[in-house]
Amino acid sequence: MEHYDLCVIGGGPAGYAAAMRAIDLGKRTLLVERERIGGTGIYNGALASKTLWELSQRMAATNEVVRSRGREPLRMSWEEIGRALNEALFERKYLLSCHMQLLENSGELFTHERGVARFTGPHTVQVRRAEQTKEVSAEHIIIATGSRPRVVPTIAVDEQRILTSDGIFRIDDLPKSIVIIGAGVIGCEFATIFSNFGRTKVHLIDRAERILPFEDPDISELVARNLERRGVTIHRNAKLERIEAMPHGVEYDLSYPDGRTERVVVEKALVSVGRVPNLEDIGLAEAGITLDPATALIPLDGTASKVAHIHVVGDATGSNMLVNLGEVEARHAVEQLLARERVPLSHGAISTIMFLDPEVAGVGLNEQECRKRGIPYRVARIDYACLARAIAMRRTKGFFKVLVTDDEAMMVLGMRAVGEHASSAIQAVALMMQENIGIAALARLIHPHPSITEGVQECARMLLGTSIFKSPVFGDKMQCYRWSPSPEEVRAA
C-alpha cells in the first residue's frame, strides 16, 4: 500500500490549491479527482458562467451603440457562443493538466489519480476507476469534494426543459423565453447573461420584496432597474405554487400576498436555489466522522473536523461557496496540518464579485449588516457620474460606497463597488481592512488619472472633509452621513 503525507479528495479549486501548498512544504501528496480537474471552478461554475457573462456584456454594449445609430442589433448563435465558451474552458483545462503532468514527471512529491475516492479507515482511502481499485494510506487527508445544485423536492428537474445551473450549459440553443427560480447571485447572473444576448425573454421569481436581499437596497434596486430595462420581468413577493414541463414548454403558477394569481408559459426553466456539498458515499463513517443531524454538514473548527488529521475545505464545508475562499481555506488547512501553524482562519477581508449589470464587488460589511449588528458607522458614497474615467468610458452607471467606524480612527468596516472595474477597485480597501489601516492612508495615496479607483479616494476624502467635489452641492450624486443605533435599539441589544 502506497503511503502519502497528504491525500486530497477532490480536484476542484480548493483541492488543487491544497495539493500545491503541500508541495511547497515538501510533502508527498496524492490528489484524487473522480471526473475533471478544475471541477465546478471551470466547467459548471466560475469560469464557464463568467465567460458567458463577458460575451453577453460585449454583445449588449455593442448593440447599445448599434441601436443608437438606428441599425439592427447584432445576434450571436448559440453555436458561436458555445465555441467561445469551449475555447476558454480548454485553455484553463490545458493549463492545469500540463502543470500537473510536469509536476508528476519532475519528482516524487506529486501524484494524480483519477477515480472515486472513499474512506476505508481514518487513514486509508480506496480509489476506484472502472473495474480497478487501489488502496492508499495518508498521514493527513483533506476533503474537497465540492458541491452540486440544490434541488427542490416539488420541482421535477429533467435537465431538458427544467434545468439546474449544471444543465443550463448543455442547452443546444438560446431559448426564446426562460424563467429563473431564485433571485440570489446565480439567478441574477443568468438573468443578466440571457437578457444581454437579447434573444431570450427572461422571468425572475423572487419570494422577497427585492432581489439580492443580502445587499443594501441601493445596490439591488440599481441591478433590478437595469434588468427590467433589458426586458426582464421580476415577479416580486411571488410564491411558486406549481411548475411543470409540458409538451409546449414550461408552465408555472404564482401567487401573491394580495391574493392575485398568475400563470405563465415559457420555453425553459432554471432552478437556482443554491448548492449542497458532495458528502455522500465517501465513507465518512469509516473515517470516524458523523454529520451534524441539523445541518447535514461536517462539524468544523475552522477547517478541522473532529478527527484531527482530516480537514474539510471549499464547497464541501457547506458555507461561503466561493473559489477564492475555498483556496484560502485549502492553504490554511495544509499549513495547519503539515506546517503546524496555529493561525486562526479569518474571512473578514474576503472580496466577492457578482457578475451582473453593472458588476458588483464587495468586501466586509454593508449598511444593513452594520445596522442589524448595531454597529455605528460613517459612510461616503459617490456616483460614477462624478468620475472622469467613467465619463470617458461612457459607463456612468454605478457608485462606490465606503463604510468606516464612527470615531476618529475611521477604520474601514466594508466597501461596495457597483460598476465597471468594480472588482479591481476594492483591493486597496480589502488590504487596508486586513492590515488594520485607517481611511486617512487611502486619502493620501496618489492614484493614476484618469482611473475608476479615484472614486474610492474621493470617498475617503469625503469622510475626512477634504473632497474635491462637496457632497452638499452634488447631493444626488455624492452622499456622506453617519448612523448609530437609537437608544431603543441599544436597549433591545
**267-316 pLDDT, tens per residue?**
999 999 999 999 999 999 999 999 999 999 999 999 999 999 999 999 99
pTM: 0.91
3-class SS letters over 253-296:
EEECCCCCEEEEEECEEEECCCEEECCCCCCHHHHCCCCCCCCC
How many alpha carbons fall within 13 Å on the CB side of residue 213? Answer: 9
Q: Is the pLDDT of residue 493 over 60?
A: no
Q: Under CATH, which number does the domain 358-492 receive? A: 3.30.390.30
CB proximity list for 306: less than 8 A, separation 6 or greater: 288, 289, 299
What pLDDT is attached to residue 349? 81
- Residue 272 contacts residue 184 (beta carbons within 8 Å): yes
- How far is Cα of residue 204 from the mean position of the Cα atoms in its chain? 19
What pLDDT is attached to residue 80? 93
Confidence grade of residue 82 (pLDDT, cut at 50, 70, 90): very high
CA-wise closest residue to 358 among 47, 63, 85, 53: 53
- How far is Cα of residue 326 from the mean position of the Cα atoms in its chain? 11
- Residue 208 contacts residue 236 (beta carbons within 8 Å): yes
What pLDDT is attached to residue 73? 87
Beta pairing class for 478-483 and 377-383: antiparallel
**411-446 pLDDT, tens per residue?**
999 999 999 989 888 988 999 998 999 999 989 888
- Residue in the block written with cell 458567458: 52
CB proximity list for 89: less than 8 A, separation 6 or greater: 42, 43, 47, 48, 51
Provide the 8-state DSSP code for 215.
S
- Residue 328 contacts residue 350 (beta carbons within 8 Å): yes
CATH 3.50.50.60-classified regions of the chain: 2-44+82-149+276-338, 162-273
- Residue 437 contacts residue 413 (beta carbons within 8 Å): no
Q: Under CATH, which number does the domain 162-273 receive? A: 3.50.50.60
Q: If DSSP codes are grouped into helix, strand and coil, which group holds residue 322? A: coil
**153-190 pLDDT, tens per residue?**
999 999 999 999 999 999 999 999 999 999 999 999 99
* Grid cell for residue 396: 456612468
Q: How far apart are CA 226 and CA 208, in angstroms?
A: 18
Class of the CATH-defined domain 2-44+82-149+276-338: alpha beta
- Residue 421 contacts residue 353 (beta carbons within 8 Å): no
Q: If DSSP codes are grouped into helix, strand and coil, which group holds residue 465? A: coil
Provide the 8-state DSSP code for 72.
P
Q: If DSSP codes are grouped into helix, strand and coil, which group holds residue 96? A: helix
Query: Which one is predicted more confidently, 7 or 321?
Result: 7
Q: If DSSP codes are grouped into helix, strand and coil, which group holds residue 485? A: coil
Confidence grade of residue 68 (pLDDT, cut at 50, 70, 90): confident
* Grid cell for residue 454: 479615484
- Residue 393 contacts residue 420 (beta carbons within 8 Å): yes
What pLDDT is attached to residue 489? 60
CATH 3.30.390.30-classified regions of the chain: 358-492
Q: How far apart are CA 153 and CA 21, in angstroms?
A: 40
Give the Cα-Cα-Cα angle 384, 387, 390 (nearest 5 degrees). 70
- Residue 367 contacts residue 402 (beta carbons within 8 Å): no
